[in-house]
Amino acid sequence: MKSNGLFDFSIDRENRTIRITREFDASLELVWQAWTMPQLLDQWCAPNPYRTETKTLDFQEGGFWHYAIVSPEGNKHWSRYDYKKIEPQKSITELRAFSDENGRVNPDFPRTECTLIFSETDGKTRVKITEKYKSPEMFEKMATTSHKKGFSSHLKNLDDLLLTLKNR
């Protein structure tokens, strides 16, 4: 699927915040499903050539997504997103953290609060993502061209998945 070109990645150093806006040529319902169902998340939510492997996804307020980003060599890097607030097909607020294989959050890194806002206009869905970093060190690691390229890559994977889903 060819994206319409809307991909905005802005960095607010003063507030340790990254804002990402991306539009998809698909319905809100389809984009929401791709963002909230493990069998779909695992098909797109990692920059190439990595892949995502969900261990647990309990998509409800108080629930969490525990998953690994898997390298081509099979190395797993674990994360856990705890869902604070969910407004179906409107928004998700989550606390992101590195974890171990059992889902225990790594206490060495403060959690990042992430809010995703979903909206649809004329059959296209816009997702606005705000990442707020408590850790200055983690913010500096993420406020990079490398993070922007990785994010762009996995959102391109979502474009491709959405095209496949639309054609079913």
The per-residue pLDDT for range 69-97, each reduced to its tens digit, is 999 999 999 999 999 999 999 999 999 99
Q: How far from 148 is each of 7, 28, 105, 131, 161, CA to CA, in Å?
A: 10, 24, 25, 13, 20
What pLDDT score does 3 carry?
A: 47
Cα 150 to its chain centre, rounded Å, is 11
- Can you name the CATH fold of 7-166? Alpha-D-Glucose-1,6-Bisphosphate; Chain A, domain 4 (3.30.530)
Single pTM value for the model? 0.93
> Residue 117: left (phi > 0), alpha (psi -120 to 50), or beta?
beta
pLDDT score of 5: 59
The one-digit pLDDT tens for each residue of the chain (168 residues) are 444 558 999 999 999 999 999 999 999 999 999 999 999 999 999 988 999 999 999 999 999 999 999 999 999 999 999 999 999 999 999 999 999 999 999 998 899 999 999 999 999 999 999 999 998 988 998 999 998 998 899 999 999 999 999 887
